[in-house]
Amino acid sequence: MPPTLPTTIDIREPRWDQSTFQGRAKHFFTVTDPRNLLLSGAALDEARRLVLAYRAGTVPPGLTEDELWRAKYIYDSAFHPDTGEKMLLIGRMSAQVPMNMTITGCMLTFYRTTPAVVFWQWVNQSFNAIVNYTNRSGDAPITPRQLGTAYVSATGGAVVTALGLKSLTKHLPAIIGRYVPFAAVAAANCINIPLMRQRELKVGIPITDENGNRLGESTAAAQKAIFQVVVSRIGMAAPAMAIPPVIMNVLEKRAFLKRYPYLNAPLQVGLVGLCLVFATPLCCALFPQKSSMQVSRLEPSVQARIREVDPELHTVYFNKGL
């Protein structure tokens, strides 16, 4: 009979060292694995039961360490780290590659007409709104009005940017026009994410000590978290929206695509998918998920509260969101 697994494994933290980029990359390659979308509700609930039981000190007989970590990552892929609620299917990080490869591929293929630009920017921002809401940091609720404002503002910003740049690039080489969708997506991320998480900017996000003890909420931490997410999202989109246009610009001049033009969209989607398989986890790994901040950088009122509790504490931690 195999030995009983000890209860000292900290499954609240990732399996790999998050102080290194390599460790974070391994973590996010697991978190963004699209195969997690195929798991049944029963499999998700079983992983949740196992993880919560282990955290409570109960070890099922015969459980191995690899099985425990597998359950932890299944749980993390489907349940919000702060609220514990099951996340919307297409808002999960494991849906990023299949959803984004389809939407981005179509944005890069159908960019020549105004209706196509408007439609695909709307689809993209609708998806982004779901992802941003699903992966928001903290347990602060967001009202339907705030949700609507963020959605309309980001969609409007993306469409205006795309149409404005489209008109400016009419007389420039075709390859320049292919980068209009990326500029629109980058602009929209700068609008959508802060607006979707505006309540965090007003009331703050939960901050803790290194042991996970909650110390309060901080708007300064929220600003840092949102900035990091914006940078990661733009970086995530960059390879998928920068590399395929160059390749497609060359291929479209060849006889093969002129003879089979209907292959344009599938080729574009495939190239985008190939880029996203690597760009998504690597850009998520740019910053630690459990981000940190010096107490001296927090708001004065929060600093004072922390010094009352623990005068020796110099660093606080928070979930930056995704």
What does residue 291 show for φ and ψ, rounded to 5 degrees? -80, 160
Beta-bridged to residue 206, according to DSSP, are: 217
Q: Can you read off the two tokens belonging to residue 279?
A: 């760009």
Nearest 5 degrees, angle CA 73-CA 18-CA 100?
55
The rounded distance, in Å, linking the Cα atoms of 116 and 122 is: 10
202-214 pLDDT, tens digit each: 888 888 888 888 8
136-158 pLDDT, tens digit each: 655 556 677 777 877 787 778 77
Q: Give the per-residue pLDDT at 231.
A: 92
DSSP 257-278: HHH-GGGHHHHHHHHHHHHHHH
- Of 48, 73, 229, the residue nearest 137 (C-alpha): 229
CA 271 to chain centre: 20
259-317 pLDDT, tens digit each: 877 777 788 888 888 888 898 889 988 988 888 888 888 888 888 888 888 888 888 88
Is the pLDDT at 2 greater than 70, yes or no?
A: no
pTM, 2 dp: 0.74
Percent of the chain surpassing pLDDT 70: 95
